[in-house]
Amino acid sequence: MIRIAATELAQVVAAAEAAYPQECCGLLSGRSQGAGAAREITVTAVYPSPNLAPEPRRNFEIDPALRLRLQRELRDRGDHVVGLYHSHPDGRAQPSPTDLDRAWETDLAWLITAVHGGSAILTAAHVLDVAAQVTFRHVPLVTADWQAPASRAARPEDGVSFD
């Protein structure tokens, strides 16, 4: 699961819309705990990057100087780079074959925002899964104040027999 404050998610969406029809990109910092499918990542900050890709309408490339600067700055705070984000202009909010070819860090979350006609329609989260084969796995993306829905005991009007 990826947790992100609504304000940080809004930054990602705004960057995606502003960059349209090109791809936006940037890094996410925060903390992670757990491992495998039980791993939970909490995003605490969003860092936009210029898109350095030669074809920014079809690809993205984050400025490596930003990554190095962040690693130095975050070292003493307990946070680290936990993910990246980018947009897919007139595409889907899921990794493309190009994304898969360029993915190599198994511990990073990928947020992808689909933008159609200049408006963001969906942001989804993914992680690289190398257990069986190299592929992306969709993971829940929730705002930081999200809580699991409360459950209630079965009631007679639910059609459940108590005998």
pLDDT tens string 44-79: 999 999 999 999 999 999 999 999 999 999 988 889
DSSP β-bridge partners for residue 30: 43, 80
Q: Is the pLDDT of residue 28 over 60?
A: yes
Give the CATH number, domain containing residue 13: 3.40.140.10
| DSSP result, 101-158 | HH---TT-EEEEEEEETTEEEEEEEEEEE-SSSSEEEEE-EEETT--PPP-----GGG
With respect to residue 22, please indicate whether it lies within any of the assigned structural domains.
yes
Q: How far apart are CA 120 and CA 44, in angstroms?
A: 22
Question: Is 157 one of the catalytic residues?
Answer: no
With respect to residue 160, please indicate whether it lies within any of the assigned structural domains.
no
Please tell me which residue in 8, 17, 23, 55 is annotated as part of the active site.
23
CB 19 within 8 A of CB 126: no
With respect to residue 124, please indicate whether it lies within any of the assigned structural domains.
yes
**Total structural domains in the chain?**
1
With respect to residue 15, please indicate whether it lies within any of the assigned structural domains.
yes
Could you tell me what percent of the chain has a pLDDT over 70? 90
Amino acid found at 138 = H
Q: How far apart are CA 16 and CA 113, in angstroms?
A: 7
Structural domain that includes position 131: 2-142
Whether the full predicted model's pTM is greater than 0.85, yes or no, is yes
With respect to residue 30, please indicate whether it lies within any of the assigned structural domains.
yes
With respect to residue 28, please indicate whether it lies within any of the assigned structural domains.
yes
